Chains A and B, each alone.
Chain A
Amino acid sequence: MQLLMFFVFGFCAVVSALIMVTNKKPVSAAMCLIVTMISLAGLYVLLDAHLIAALQILVYAGAIMVLFLFVIMLLNVQEKEGRLAGQAILLQLIAVVVVALLFLSMVNVDISGGSVLAFGYVANQFGTTKAVGKMLFTEYLLPFEIASVLLLAAIVGAVILAKRRIDDSGSSEAHPES
């Protein structure tokens, strides 16, 4: 049963990721990314990481994808992609080959290390909110606080970046880029 669920979720994740990458329309790519996120959340549950699965749904499928969709709608991009030049296609082919080599090396590492990995004993409270929270607030308290500072910096930076245009919308015409 667990194996079956793993294959179902994994298949969903990979297929929707492929659709996302090959898609030209941002909105459908975002939808496929949501499917990938939800499949990944299912995989997390299979791996006994219940808190992370819930966070995955909340943060990614909820917040980040809403942000993406909002920006897509806001920008209202009309795609008018022309034919790619021959050089660009060659570059893309090279990129794909390089990534394929990278993938092969990663799989090699996975397989060579695979014999060590086996489903061992799992602690009683593995992956519960209580256990993760206890670790987070004792052993990893400093990184946790730094993460909150990082979020604050990101909020301030995003607001400033998005707001600055309103201020110098008139002056940007006067001096374009210097």
Chain B
Amino acid sequence: MLGAVLFSIGAVGVFTQRNALIIYMCIELMLNAVNLTFIAFSRFLNNMDGHVFVFMIMTVAAAEAAVGLAIIISLFRNRATVNVDDINLSKG
């Protein structure tokens, strides 16, 4: 339930924010909501598999944050903006 609330807030943030950094933070928030849901279900079902999955999700989130922030840095050096509306490289 709380996980759903947090996930929705994160999704709203992804769609409404125009700052790439805050969009990344919202993605982190969504991943955390999923983690919370995993932990809660693993507690209620008395099954520890959820903990291992959360461990993996944290790993992937850390990797994703590192690569994403590197992309943002190189984009910023190229374009001098973090506004995703100004970054439209795939337009041909």
Q: How far is the CA of A149 from the CA of B67 in the complex (A)?
A: 14
- B contact patch SS: helix
Q: Report B-chain residues with C-beta under 8 Å of the C-beta of A177.
A: 89
> Interface residue count for B (Cβ, 8 Å)?
63
Query: With contacts A30-B25, A33-B25 known, is A110 near B4, CB below 8 A?
Result: yes
* Nearest-Cβ distance from residue B5 to partner chain A, whole angstroms: 6
Q: Say yes or no: is A8 at the interface (Cβ < 8 Å to chain B).
A: no
Q: A64 and B61: CB pair below 8 A?
A: yes
Q: Say yes or no: is A3 at the interface (Cβ < 8 Å to chain B).
A: no
Q: Report B-chain residues with C-beta under 8 Å of the C-beta of A24.
A: 19
> Interface residue count for A (Cβ, 8 Å)?
80
Residue ranges of A at the interface with B (Cβ–Cβ < 8 Å):
10, 13-14, 17-18, 20-21, 23-24, 26, 29-30, 33, 36-37, 40, 43-44, 47-49, 51-52, 55-56, 59-60, 63-64, 67-68, 71-72, 74-75, 77, 79, 81, 88, 92, 95-96, 99-100, 102-103, 106-107, 110, 117-123, 126-127, 131-132, 135-136, 139-140, 143, 147, 150-151, 153-155, 157-159, 161-162, 164-165, 172, 177
Residue ranges of B at the interface with A (Cβ–Cβ < 8 Å):
1-2, 4-13, 15-19, 21-22, 24-26, 28-29, 32, 35-36, 39-40, 42-44, 46, 48-49, 51-52, 54-56, 58-67, 69-74, 76-78, 82-83, 85, 89
